[in-house]
Amino acid sequence: MTKISLIIYGASLLSALFQFIAVPMTINYFGSDLYAILSIILSILAYLNFYNFGVPTTVGSLFSSSGEHEFRLKLILKGTILLVAISAILIVLLSFLYLNTDLLVIYFNDELLAETFFLIAIITAINLPLNIFISSFVFYNKIYIERVYFIVSSSLPILSILIADYLELSFNEYLIIRFVLLFLIGIISFIHFLVLFKTYIQKDIFRQFNFFKFYAYKQIIKQSLKYIVIGASALVIWNTDALIMKNFMTLEEITFFLVIFKLFTFSFFIFSAINLIVTPMISDCHAKGDYVNLQYIYNNSLLLSIFIGGSIWIGGLLFSRSIIHFWVGDSIDSDLSTIVFLGAYTAMMSINSLLTTFLIQTNSVKKYGVLVPWIEAVVHTLLVILFLNINQSGFSVAMGIAFGMLSSFIMTPLLLQYKLRGKIIISLSQIIKKVFFMQVPFVLGYISLFTFGYGESTLLNVLYFTFYILYFYTMLESNQKILLKKYLLRK
């Protein structure tokens, strides 16, 4: 494993650890209702931030066009100017919304909270142009610097709560401190960039403003719009549920669901690590036209993804209630049916994320690859709303999320099969068959045990999980066992 990979893994692991610690701290300090409000506010701000409107991603993709420092610097500064313009528009719109309507007060049902949201939304908008400078460290292959800023930013929820606790601050004051600290990190990264790359505000940045011509920005704008279309689907999938739940469920019920979902999202780190390992292998084989080895990589990594997805699903059923009680206390009610569907979602995502990696690295995305996540986003959102109209509970949300992923889980291998036809064999029926025989019986088995009152024994659950691992191993063919060992022991 390379030094860069270790840095990425380490930073991601630290970020997950900070999130793991921040959840019980927030709930214990502010209560479950305010935790739900915090999640809703962060979801709204995610739409406001909108992944920086695709500008940093576009700048990064254009960076390889030339190795000249002056060209690259101008590219970053052009991206900054575009984000300044977007920031100004957002500030005007937010100010109009807050000063001329009562929409925020009506939505939050609290005038002080509406005022606080307006302030932190303005801070987020002002911070928008500064985000590109943190991304720029990656463009210049200084990933370790960007990861330091990433780790510090990830620690802010904990740091802000500690400050709020020490100064005995309210929830509204906590929010302001948290986003002011985030803004300060943006300012520091901006100064760091100026010093490191010997950039001068008067000479370099203002000069770009003076020579502003639309055609010079046309390429960045055009490509950014493409990334916005792609990124918007992920934004809808990840940041809409809390906004919808607010209209159907109590704040306490929203928190119950979000805590269970957060526990499963921590596992994403595991299968994203596999994708990071196979990414260069896929692109290398595809570039060389070595489809024999590409088939080998596909079979091998798919097997591992099915195993990991199944382990998370079944492990979640067996141990998540105990983990949640240890993690945030007995105040959180963890419903088995919600866990079943969120586990199914995670198991499918483990496989689907691998197939998506194959799509991207074999240049098979294009318009159909963009369409698949949008179909998932639409199905996901509509089903969550439909199920919540029938039953106002976290179980309904989990069902909507799982069936939304199911649509992508079916379409992605079909698309990959179509794009790589005649090169490697990809069969949706084989994937479903493996999942059914290697995961589903154990899920149904545990549900039966739980129904008859045998699901609460820790010892029995450990034995059951061990039996699942042994069963999975015995289902493999001899050559598959060798492949699995090689991947698990890969350094």
Give 21-74 pLDDT, tens digit per residue.
Answer: 999 999 999 999 999 999 999 999 988 887 677 788 777 767 766 667 777 777
**What is the separation of C-alpha 479 from the centre of its chain, rounded to a whole number of angstroms?**
35
Of the chain, the end-to-end C-alpha distance in Å amounts to 6
Q: Which two tokens stand for residue 36?
A: 């739900």
Distances (CA, A) of 250 to 197, 245, 255, 351, 392: 51, 8, 9, 34, 9
Q: Are 442 and 472 in contact (CB under 8 A)?
A: no
Residue 174: its pLDDT value, please? 96
Alpha-carbon dihedral 460, 464, 467, 473, rounded to 10 degrees: -150
Most confident by average pLDDT, 54-63, 206-215, 345-354, 430-439: 345-354
Cα(266)–Cα(23) distance, rounded to whole angstroms? 12
- Given a cut of 70, whether residue 4 has pLDDT beyond it is no
The ranges assigned to domains in the chain are 3-228, 240-486
Arithmetic mean of pLDDT over the chain: 83
Name the 3-class secondary structure at 109.
Answer: coil
Query: How much is the average pLDDT of 261-287?
Result: 80
Does the predicted TM-score (pTM) go above 0.75?
yes
Lowest mean pLDDT among 313-317, 355-359, 397-401, 448-452: 448-452
Name the 3-class secondary structure at 427.
Answer: coil
Residue 418: its pLDDT value, please? 84
Task: With CA atoms as reference, report the closest residue to 360 among 307, 440, 306, 420.
Answer: 420
Q: Are 199 and 132 in contact (CB under 8 A)?
A: no
Residue 21: its pLDDT value, please? 93
Cα(251)–Cα(267) distance, rounded to whole angstroms? 25
Residue 442: its pLDDT value, please? 80
Q: Are 74 and 208 in contact (CB under 8 A)?
A: yes
- Given a cut of 50, whether residue 212 has pLDDT beyond it is no
Q: Which two tokens stand for residue 236?
A: 């809808």
Percent of the chain with pLDDT over 90: 34
Cα(25)–Cα(63) distance, rounded to whole angstroms? 41
Residue appearing with tokens 């919600």: 338
Residue 456: its pLDDT value, please? 67
C-alpha triplet 206, 208, 212: angle, nearest 5°: 120
Residue 444: its pLDDT value, please? 81
3-class SS shares of the chain: helix, strand, coil, % to 5: 85, 0, 15
